[in-house]
A and B are shown apart, each in its own frame.
Chain A
Amino acid sequence: MAEQYRRKNRGIDITLLLMGAVVLLLVIFAFWLGGWHLVVSGLKQAADTVQFVWLRLLLGITLGGLIPVLIPVKLISKWLGLESGFKGILTGCGLSIFMYGGPYASFPVIASLHRAGAAAGPVISLLTGLGWLGLGALISYQMPFLGIRLSLARFIACLLIIPLVGIAGGALYELMGRFSVKGRTP
């Protein structure tokens, strides 16, 4: 795994470059709109986020590290790997309903599953399902603010469409792989 990680980290990190460029652009934009005051205000918001998530993130990353050593790679391949097909996409949807704890907890776990052999389609359906099917947001925020009927209508519509997103996303990922230059992107 360490060697695989080192191999992945050679070359230009396009994701990092892209993010650095966007941050720089937004800093310039904020400075242009409101001077250093607005830039500092944005950085303070970021500091608040760090204060809120750091412990959760640390726990999520620890959990993400433990899961691949606890779940055999063969099992991950069987249920979420390339050969899992439509079953893998449905498994991804199903898992997303019961995943708990926000991106700081779930993303390190899903990233670990992806590195351990979960294919793009199931990972995309799992990531999409986190936002669309998560019971935490449904019960804690949507039902109180928007009522049960509208929340349920959204949930059912998303449940029906997510497998299609998984299939289309997986196909697009493979298609992009044929045209991409090998880089650091995981």
Chain B
Amino acid sequence: MMDITLLILILMVFTAAVAALWLGGWRLIVSGLKQGGYTVRLVWLRLLLGITLGGLVQVLIPAELIVEWMGPASGPSGILIGSCLGVIMAGGPYVQVPIIASIYKSGAGVGPIIALLAAGNALSLQLLFTWHLPFFGSRLNAARYIACAVALPIIGLVGSVVFSVLSVS
């Protein structure tokens, strides 16, 4: 079934192809397709392994376990726990956000929830192995991962302050 994301992607590819044709004719389009071919050659096996890994992670880590760790009793260490839990978060936003929302509703603080939301994107092993490593390799990802891991508790703290300011205003 056709969806909005797919339609927008088709539109973007079509626009880029028309621009390439206008700028440099068929030669430029073929050159662009060759670049795409190099990317496929580089990532196809990594991507296949990553998608397999993503499927396995989803069946190995139960959602109930995540709720247990981030429940009402998490206390002041919640921001750190939220940051660390991002590592085992799996699935896209359509999977992660409902789980995190249920943790929030069960009494978790704003800081831990913000840290967890950010960590789910930045530190998720599933995302790392499925998408980041196949396209960007080990070195860039190691640098990104370490920088994000250090930044996450700060985001949790800053986010809770911003939340308080927004609540007052």
Interface of A is mostly: helix
Q: Is the CB of A157 within 8 A of B162?
A: yes
Q: Is the interface of B mostly helix, strand, loop or mixed?
A: helix
The interface residues of chain B lying within 8 Å CB-to-CB of A170 are 143
A108 to B110, CA, bound (A): 34
Q: Known: A19-B129, A42-B56. Contact between A186 and B42, CB under 8 A? A: yes
Instruction: Assign chain A's interface to a size class.
Output: 35 or more
**Is A176 touching B37 in the complex (CB atoms < 8 A)?**
no
Please judge, given known A-B contacts A30-B60, A149-B167, whether A123 and B32 are in contact too, CB under 8 Å: no
Q: 18 other contacts beyond A56-B9, A142-B93, A173-B139, with CB at 8 A cut-off?
A: A1-B35, A18-B138, A26-B53, A33-B60, A42-B52, A46-B53, A46-B54, A59-B9, A61-B40, A63-B12, A64-B39, A108-B135, A146-B117, A153-B110, A157-B156, A172-B143, A173-B143, A186-B140
Which residues does B use to contact A, with CB under 8 Å? 5-6, 8-10, 12-13, 16-17, 19-20, 23-24, 28-29, 31-42, 45-47, 49-60, 92-94, 97-98, 100-101, 104, 110, 113-114, 117-118, 120-122, 127, 129-140, 142-144, 146-148, 150-151, 154-156, 158-160, 162-163, 166-167
